[in-house]
């Protein structure tokens, strides 16, 4: 997963990091669930 910012945007802020971490957790959870469902 990669997050990019536009040239006109300032550096990432803490709120951006929190959002990215939340998205990463959701993706990992979905992948884990998909793997478990596929094993049945």
Q: What is the pLDDT of residues 7-37, one digit of tens each?
A: 998 899 999 999 999 999 999 999 999 999 9
In sign, the C-alpha dihedral spanning 12, 14, 20, 24 is: positive
The residue whose two tokens read 């959002």 is: 19
pLDDT of residue 40 exceeding 70, the answer is: no
DSSP H helical ranges for 1-40: 14-39
Distance CA 7, CA 30 (A): 32
Distance CA 23, CA 18 (A): 9
pTM to 2 decimal places: 0.73
Distance CA 34, CA 29 (A): 9
What pLDDT score was predicted for residue 33?
95
């Amino acid at each position: 997963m990669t997050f990019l910012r536009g040239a006109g945007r300032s550096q990432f802020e803490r709120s951006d990091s929190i959002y990215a971490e939340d998205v990463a957790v959701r993706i990992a959870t979905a992948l884990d669930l998909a793997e478990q469902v596929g094993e049945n």
